[in-house]
Amino acid sequence: MLRVGIHGLGFMGMMHYLAYQQIEGVKVVAICEVSEERRRGDWRSIKGNFGPSGTMMDLTGVSTYAESVNLFEDAEVDLVDICLPPGAHSATAVEALNAGKHVVCEKPIALTIEDAEQMVETAKNKNKSFMVAQVLPFFPAYRFVYDSLQSGRFGRLLGGHFDRVISEPVWLKNFYDMKTIGGPLLDLHIHDAHFIRLLFGLPDAVQSVGRLRNDVPEYFNTQFIYQNDNLVVTSTSGVIQQQGRPFMARYEVHFEQATLVLNDAPPTILTADGKVEKANIPEMDEVGIFASELREVTNSLKKQLISQILGSELARDALIIALRERESILQKKTVSTKS
């Protein structure tokens, strides 16, 4: 039995708790949360922009702590699952790793490259597993692209375009603080930065233009530059001011023998012989999607393997990509990702 301690009971912590209930051989044995109300099992104040709302939870048999140190000292906990605000990811992960725990951390890995590097190196030095919960590849429409690449079904990748745009998240305090959340760059676009890294590798450079909220990217377009001139990859992401704007995520991914298009699920396949087909992909609810992600975490840990999707170095590279995009916008020039 793999025993999990969840650190942080906001919406994502709740989703992870529910997802673990669907994974055989895994049990949540501890929770660390500052809210006494939530430690008692009253999760009715927890809300998100998708998925279930919070309710009353029976936490019988689950140890509850208000302080991190108590969670890290709990000998019953094998894996610490960090669902705290991004600004707390680095220090918390390093402390947990130093305490001898395996760690999975919600995205983004950190808010600075230096912090991300410290997290990766600490895990190596302590010989502990460290993964980052970048959930996008586990959404069926995105998993279809990844599996198509892995199988070689449509030949080589030639590039693609990725959109991810939302209306202003007025309920989210400190959203535009680069030391707390990081704005749409690190809260929203980091999903596509990670997916681009997963599919195409680390670009050599980025060229971005965008609107800024002070010095934080608000809405931006990026060209990802690779040595292979035939690899053309772009993205658009950010926030618009009108609250009528629903959440929007789309892609168009080019293979040699097909183009995969997501406007509305399921994705469309444009085939080499001119046909238009709908992809046959499974339907999954939100908790099931997170269960797939966390099953990848727990299976990798049990088998002592480095996840090819959730490895911490991939997440670090996604952060590098995103922060170099910000530099490109601020400096109004192409910026290398390798320096």
Nearby residues of 282 by Cβ (< 8 Å), 6 or more positions away: 140
- Joined together, the tokens standing for residue 162 give 């990725």
Express as a percent the part of the chain with pLDDT over 90. 91
Strand positions, DSSP E, the chain = 2-7, 26-32, 63-65, 79-82, 102-106, 130-133, 157-167, 205-213, 216-225, 232-240, 248-255, 258-262, 268-271, 276-278, 335-336
Average pLDDT of the residues in 157-174: 92
What's the CA gap between 256 and 254, in Å, rounded? 7
Average pLDDT of the residues in 306-335: 98
Q: What is the pLDDT of residues 118-158, one digit of tens each?
A: 999 999 999 999 999 999 999 999 999 999 999 999 999 99
Is the distance from CB of 6 to CB of 101 less than 8 angstroms?
no
Residues in the chain: 339
Confidence of residue 319 (pLDDT cuts 50, 70, 90): very high
Confidence of residue 173 (pLDDT cuts 50, 70, 90): confident
Is the distance from CB of 80 to CB of 101 less than 8 angstroms?
yes
Residue 10 has pLDDT above 90, yes or no: yes
Is the distance from CB of 193 to CB of 186 less than 8 angstroms?
no
Residue 53 has pLDDT above 90, yes or no: no
What's the CA gap between 20 and 127, in Å, rounded? 24
Q: What is the pLDDT of residues 233-291, one digit of tens each?
A: 999 999 998 888 778 899 999 999 999 999 988 999 999 999 999 999 999 999 999 99
- Residue 301's H or E segment, with its range, is helix 286-302
Give strand pairing partners of 220: 210, 237
Which of 88-102, 197-211, 237-251, 269-283 is predicted least confidently? 237-251
Q: Measured on CA atoms in the order 298, 303, 307, 313, is the torsion positive or negative? A: positive
Q: Which domains does the chain have, with CATH numbers?
A: 2-133 (3.40.50.720), 137-289+318-336 (3.30.360.10)
Q: What is the pLDDT of residues 217-242, one digit of tens each?
A: 999 999 999 999 899 999 999 999 88
Express as a percent the part of the chain with pLDDT over 70. 100
